[in-house]
Amino acid sequence: MPSGSDTPAPAVPGRGRRFMALVRREAPRTVLAVLSGLALALAFPPYDLWPLSLVGVAALGLLTRGRTARQGAWTGLAFGLPFFFVLLKWLHVVGWDAVFGLALVQALYTVLLGAGLAVTSRLKYAPVWAACLWVTEEWVRDRVPFGGFPWGRLAFANTGSPFTPLAALGGAPLVTFAVALSGALLAAAAAVLWRLRRGAGRSVRAALPAVEAVGLAAAVTVSGLLVPVHTDADDHVDIAVVQGNVQRPGMDFLGRPMQILDNHATATEQLAADVKAGKAKKPDLVIWPENASDLDPFRYPQAYDRIDEAVKAIGVPVLVGALVDHPDKPGYVFNQGIVWDPKKGPGASYTKQHPVPFGEYVPFREQLSKIITRFQRVPRDFYPGDRTGVLDIGSARLGDVICFEVAYDEIVHDTVDAGARALVVQTNNATYGRTGQPEQQLAMSKLRAVEHGRAVVTAATSGISAVVAPDGTVTHKIPEFTRGVLRASLPLRDEKTVADRVGALPEWALAIVGLLSCVAATVIGRRGRTKDEKGQQ
């Protein structure tokens, strides 16, 4: 007779079975998170469906509501990965693996955001803490690693919405906070209505919190319309922006040496001929884009002479974008904007402070280049500058910001604080032409115009070159891959906005509140569990 020890034990579900049960249980929520991330991506240029930024925020809030930190983290990943993949798909010209890799790195921040939203969803005034956490996520992502990557901030999807004027009070972080607060309030209203739908008390009183939340969301949304945006100018300067164009888009846009430089020089000389013939008014200054000279003019006499010929032909100072070899460090190059005078030649210059990691320099080059041979296409590292780009160009005191630097709050703020009366964004988007990236960058210029009360000139090698008025309105534009000269009377302003005066204070305050809300939720949760355990004893 078999002993009791020989009796078969009850079947216990294996680890694989438990995993599959988890997958089935979480699948609907995961699919909704993916769709919500895609919706948020469509809020950004080139789609510009800004109301979807509210939908995306609200959806992520609902999907993480009442969940554990681990569950919220998974939902954050499912939300963030498709969002960043669609937002950054312009990087496919480098490779779709690059798109996925960068999207995955950026989605790690939404993993933390999802966890934070989950643990704070049980707190009183949860929508406020949720909005602060969105600022916290952007605060960290804008700085870490390698100086951060600010693409995809909620503020950059709202450069032509009722939220936009709030930038004049607290910059991009305040716009993000307002958008996130409105979305979180809508999520709170939806949660109340869902409970009512399931029969948890259908009285008018039970529905009142939903009405209040929707009303507050609407009030926050239109609050920006009450913010005065000053556009009056102290004086003006007549400018000409030269978009010389490139021969072809993509990684190999440079073509043969001197080709892009000759494009810009020729367009400038044509403008000079029109001025001489009385067909056009002579500008006070001319602006060329980033990398307008593909050769170092101080090393290659032919480049120097070609620039000098064009500048002397127009007879006014020209801001020239050029790559300049580092004088003391072989293998390093400066990305510069150089003020070139028709009589004195090259003078003051600005060196880009924030080169793009893996695009303009390769961190850990020796190690990574052995693994990823594509990095060999970045043969030299760009050396960062150490000062703001405030330059006297003729009669105008302009602030130069080069390409991706327009995405970084502190660089633009410091430039205005140093005395820039208008901003110039020299950029070269030829690699990413017709991918949506130039539109995304122009949207940042629109937000900066409102934030600092300054006109912003975007000078692009292949487009989009544009002038943005201090109220964020695009007044002049040259489309992509078109050679042209943009003429405008540029307003110059000295008055500073509230955002200029407070600087990064609103961002730090909101980000720290977001972190503290997570700490508070964790402490309260532990106390609750401790009480439950004591009650069971």
Give all strands (DSSP E) within 100-255, no chain letters.
235-243
Q: Is the per-residue pLDDT at 361 higher than 90?
A: no
* Per-residue pLDDT at 455 exceeds 60: yes
Burial environment of residue 40 by CB neighbours within 10 A (0 to 12, 13 to 18, 19 or more) = buried
What is the per-residue burial (b if ≥16 Cβ within 10 Å, else e) of 448-474?
A: bbbbbbbbbbbbbbbbbbbbbbbbbeb
Q: What is d(CA 442, CA 474) in angstroms, rounded to the nearest whole number?
A: 9
C-alpha 420/C-alpha 171 separation (Å) is 17
CB 499 within 8 A of CB 167: yes
Express as a percent the part of the chain with pLDDT over 90.
Answer: 82
Look up 212 and say whether it is catalytic. Answer: no
531 is catalytic: no
pLDDT at 13: 57
The pTM of this model reads: 0.94
Residues 6+ apart with CB under 8 A from 344: none
Residues β-bridged to residue 293: 322
Catalytic residue among 132, 360, 403, 518: 403
Q: Which tokens belong to 59? A: 């959806």
> Which DSSP state fits 146?
T
Say how far apart CA 289 and CA 303 lie, in whole Å. 16
Per-residue pLDDT at 496 exceeds 50: yes
Contact 99, 91 (CB under 8 A): yes
pLDDT above 70 for 4: no
- Position 312 scores a pLDDT of 98
Query: What is the rounded distance in angstroms from the CA atom of residue 458 to the CA atom of residue 303?
Result: 24
High-pLDDT (> 70) share of the chain, %: 92
Amino acid 253: pLDDT: 58
**Angle at CA of residue 385, ends 382 and 389, nearest 5°:** 125
- Which strand (E) or helix (H) includes residue 151? none
**Angle subtended at Cα 266 by Cα 264 and Cα 270, rounded to the nearest 5 degrees:** 115
Q: How confident is the model at residue 1 (pLDDT cuts 50, 70, 90)?
A: very low
Under DSSP, is residue 367 helix (H, G, I), strand (E, B) or coil? Answer: helix
Angle of helix 51-64 relative to helix 15-41, nearest 10 degrees, comes to 160
Mean pLDDT of 73-96: 96
Q: What average pLDDT does range 423-448 have in this prediction?
A: 96
List the catalytic residue out of 137, 290, 405, 480. 290
User: Using one digit for the tens of pLDDT, what is the confidence trace for 326-355?
Assistant: 999 998 999 999 999 999 999 999 999 999
Out of 352, 451, 507, 518, pick the active-site residue.
352
**pLDDT recorded at residue 113:** 98
The residue written with tokens 């010389």 in the block is 244
451 catalytic residue (yes or no): no
Give the list of residues 6+ apart from residue 74 with CB closer than 8 angstroms, or none: 26, 30, 111, 114
